Amino acid sequence: MNHLTKIKYLFLVMIGGYLMKLSFRWYGEDDPVKIEYIRQIPTMDSIVTAIYDVPVGKVWSMESIKSLKSKVEDSGLNFDVIESVPVHEDIKLGRGDRDKYIENYKQNIINLGKAGVKVICYNFMPVFDWTRSQLDKELEDGSTALVYYKEQVDKMDPLSGELSLPGWDSSYTKEDLKDLFEAYDKVGEDGLWDNLEHFLKEIIPVAEANDVKMAIHPDDPPWPIFGLPRIITDEESLDKFLKLVDSKYNGLTFCTGSLGSGTFNDVPKLIDKYAAQERIHFMHIRNIKLLEGESFEESAHVSSYGSLDIVAIMRALHKNGFDGYLRPDHGRMIWGETGKPGYGLYDRALGAVYISGIWETLQKENNK
Ligand SMILES: [Mn+2]
């Protein structure tokens, strides 16, 4: 912790400040998890949400943003983080009409900034968002979790038209997908980097002017799937990304489960590095159990249930005076709960309280 951070830290602790702001993802009125229940999780500060009924690439109206903001604030929570404002495939592919979509993206940043939003999470993964091979794998204790088994993924054919998993845009037809795969084949990794750079150079000045921090989510899992390029995967690529536009407004959503599923990533070390640079604006905390050769199971948050040391992760954040937003990421399904895979209430709430327990310990240790 540098001198200034230390002073800021001590001051905040004196006035009862909490620094790290605990948040929780909520999918809006259709979410089976009620916002009133999220509010009851101890130390909960903010809701992480989005406008879900506007197609990718379109502008979110001020009315819809304001109405969402009121719903969140009426529940007693803050409306500071948006996850996600998705990036249109034409931007990622650098297609002819990308400029139109980039202008719309800028307008979304402006509108969200006007509504007081502080952080926007997004990703730059081609076609598919996060990918798993099964969403309800039963674990030893009878809970179910999302898993990624390489041998199952290798057998999947996304072009068969029969594959559908949450996290994937099901509106694509077989023909759309074929077209996208061919286009990404031509663009390749280098082209994807170029298109990301173009996008950032356009949007970051707008984010700066509107005081909204942009926070890219790493690729999940952090390696190419189905032959599609994936570029935000490890330390080298994170360094490269942050240098494309060297501004605090060009930052990270550091997802421990995504980066941690690559054995090449030392998660606490990376957090220490990027938190010290004040480039982490949003944390996703999730544990995963690494299996042989590019396979993993999502696990309970507690360190001993997975391969990540959650205490070391929280310590790296604390040491650097992390004052951004943090949310428990996917949870298992426990206690008979049904709902959106990874996004039930119970296990994520357990994760939230576990995280805030570690944080309290670190704060008290530091004040002795
Ligand atoms: Mn994540």
Question: Among 281, 301, 318, 330, which one carries the catalytic annotation?
Answer: 330
Give the CATH number for residue 304. Answer: 3.20.20.150
Number of Cβ within 10 Å of residue 210's Cβ equals 16
What is 270-300 written as a DSSP string? Answer: HHHHHHHTT-EEEEEE-EEEEETTTEEEEE-
Inform me whether the pLDDT recorded for 99 exceeds 70.
yes
Number of Cβ within 10 Å of residue 140's Cβ equals 5
How many domains are there within the chain? 1
What distance in angstroms lies between residue 115's CA and the mean position of ligand 1's atoms?
24
What distance in angstroms lies between residue 203's CA and the mean position of ligand 1's atoms?
22
Q: Supply the range of the domain harboring residue 200.
A: 3-366
**CB 118 within 8 Å of CB 80:** yes
Inform me whether the pLDDT recorded for 11 exceeds 70.
no
pLDDT at 365: 86
pLDDT tier for residue 368 given thresholds of 50, 70 and 90: low
**Dist CA 322 CA 26 (whole Å):** 23
pLDDT at 165: 62
Inform me whether the pLDDT recorded for 24 exceeds 70.
yes
pLDDT at 154: 85
pLDDT at 128: 83
Q: 37-82, pLDDT tens digit by residue?
A: 999 999 999 999 999 999 999 999 999 999 999 999 999 999 999 9
Supply the mean pLDDT for the chain. 91
Q: 172-194, pLDDT tens digit by residue?
A: 778 888 899 999 999 999 999 99
| More reliable by pLDDT, 325 or 133 | 325
Q: 273-311, pLDDT tens digit by residue?
A: 999 999 999 999 999 999 998 999 999 999 999 999 999
Residue 122 annotated among the catalytic residues of the structure: no
Question: Among 101, 122, 148, 343, which one carries the catalytic annotation?
Answer: 343
Tell me what the mean pLDDT of segment 118-138 comes to: 91
Question: Among 80, 249, 255, 305, which one carries the catalytic annotation?
Answer: 255
Is cis: bond before 221, omega within 30 of 0? yes
Question: Looking at 38-197, which runs of residues are DSSP E strands?
Answer: 44-49, 78-83, 119-123, 134-138, 144-148
Inform me whether the pLDDT recorded for 244 exceeds 70.
yes
pLDDT tier for residue 19 given thresholds of 50, 70 and 90: confident
What distance in angstroms lies between residue 282's CA and the mean position of ligand 1's atoms?
10
C-alpha of 39 from chain center? 21
